[in-house]
Amino acid sequence: MDGEARRVPVMTFCCHCHCGCPELFLEPDAPADRRVVMTDDFGQRIEISVDQFRTFLKHVKSGVLEEAVLAAG
C-alpha cells in the first residue's frame, strides 16, 4: 500500500480559488518524525512530527507566527 493510501485527511485550507488547496493529513504508519503531512497546491509536501506540529499551533494561537510574517514583509 502506498503512503498516500494511508493518509488520514484532517483539513483542507480552501480559499475557493479552484486552483487546488493546501491540505493537512496524518499518516499513522509513518515514522514518528514524519506523521503530520501538509501539501500545497503545487504538489509539494512537508512532513513533521506531532510535537513539531504542536509547536506550530502554539505559535499560531499566540500570534507569534503572524507577527513574524508581518515583520518579514
Backbone CA torsion sign across 9, 40, 48, 58? negative
For residue 15, what pLDDT band results from cuts at 50, 70 and 90?
Answer: confident
Can you tell me the mean pLDDT for 24-44?
Answer: 94
Domain that holds residue 40: 3-72
CA proximity to 34, closest of 61, 10, 57, 7: 7
pLDDT tens digit string along 36-57?
Answer: 999 998 889 999 999 999 999 9
Tally of structural domains, the chain: 1
pTM of the model: 0.81
